[in-house]
Amino acid sequence: AAPDVFVSKHTAIPREDVDDYVRKRILPAGAPSQAARVSSTGRDVLLRECPGAGFCSASRYEGRGKPGNDYKFSVLRDGGAYHCHRCGCSGSWYDLRLGMS
C-alpha cells in the first residue's frame, strides 16, 4: 500500500476563502451573464461561464450560451482547485488566482 501523502494545514484553503473569492473577485470581473451556484453535493462552486481570458476562450469550445453548456467550470470549495468540463483546463487555487490577475 502507498503511504499517505502529508499535506500541511498551513497550505489548506478554507471553504470561506474560496466562496469569498468567487463572490468578490470572479463574479464582478465576468461577463454580465456570469453567475455561480453551489453543486448539489455542496462540494463545488459551479460558474456559468469560464472566469476570464486566462482560462477557456470561445475558440476552445463550442456551444457558448447553450443551456446544456452552462455551469461547467467548477471550483472545489475545500481547496480551490478548478476544472473546466468544456475545454479540460484545470489547476490549483494558486493557478486560479494567477489566471484572474
Environment class of 89 (CB within 10 Å of its CB; exposed 0-12, middle 13-18, buried 19+) = middle
pLDDT at 29: 82
Secondary structure (3-state) at 23: helix
> Is 63's pLDDT higher than 90?
no
Question: Are the C-beta atoms of 37 and 45 separated by less than 8 Å?
Answer: yes
Over residues 22-51, mean pLDDT: 87
How confident is the model at residue 32, as a pLDDT?
Answer: 79
Q: What is the predicted pLDDT for the residue at 9? A: 64
Among 61, 53, 59, which residue's Cα sits nearest to residue 88? 61
Query: What pTM does this model have?
Result: 0.78
Closest residue by Cα to residue 27 from 100, 91, 88, 80? 100
